[in-house]
């Protein structure tokens, strides 16, 4: 169950980021200008993309190590590298989505338009 949930969460990260459905706390930015909000959104999506890229790299490294060490799940004996590798596409796409959104926000901020 735990392995399947990890794969599902990683698979839905790009969708939630694409839909801007992640939690956004705008309490402090309610009175900020649209341009400031767009710049902050650009910074936020850039940080998101960088963190997703870092997680993708570390999950890949962990999966390779799990395969090398022949690690398996305790009860069912499933090789642990399989769910690790199944998480990679979702994490990588989430990083790409974050980068594309960052570019969109930067363009919108430079044009003075809300993204």
Question: Cα dist. 24→36, 44, 53 in Å?
Answer: 15, 10, 21
Token pair listed for 63: 């999966």
Span 95-104, mean pLDDT? 96
pLDDT digits (tens, 9 = 90+) for 101-115: 999 999 998 887 666
Determine whether 77 is exposed, middle or buried from the number of CB atoms within 10 Å of its CB (0-12, 13-18, 19+). Answer: exposed
Closest to 84 in 3D by CA, of 60, 53, 55, 54 = 60
pLDDT digits (tens, 9 = 90+) for 24-69: 777 778 888 888 888 999 999 999 999 999 999 999 999 999 999 9
- The band of 16, judged by pLDDT with boundaries at 50, 70 and 90, is very high
């Amino acid at each position: 169950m735990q392995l399947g949930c990890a794969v599902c969460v990683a698979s839905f990260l790009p969708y939630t980021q694409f839909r801007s459905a992640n939690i956004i706390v705008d309490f402090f930015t309610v009175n900020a200008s649209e341009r400031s909000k767009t710049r902050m959104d650009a910074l936020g999506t850039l940080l998101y993309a960088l963190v997703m890229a870092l997680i993708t790299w570390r999950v890949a490294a962990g999966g390779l190590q799990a395969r090398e060490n022949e690690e398996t799940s305790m009860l069912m004996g499933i090789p642990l590298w399989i769910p690790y590798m199944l998480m990679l596409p979702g994490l990588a796409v989430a990083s790409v989505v974050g980068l594309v959104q960052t570019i969109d926000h930067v363009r919108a901020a430079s044009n003075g338009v809300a993204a």
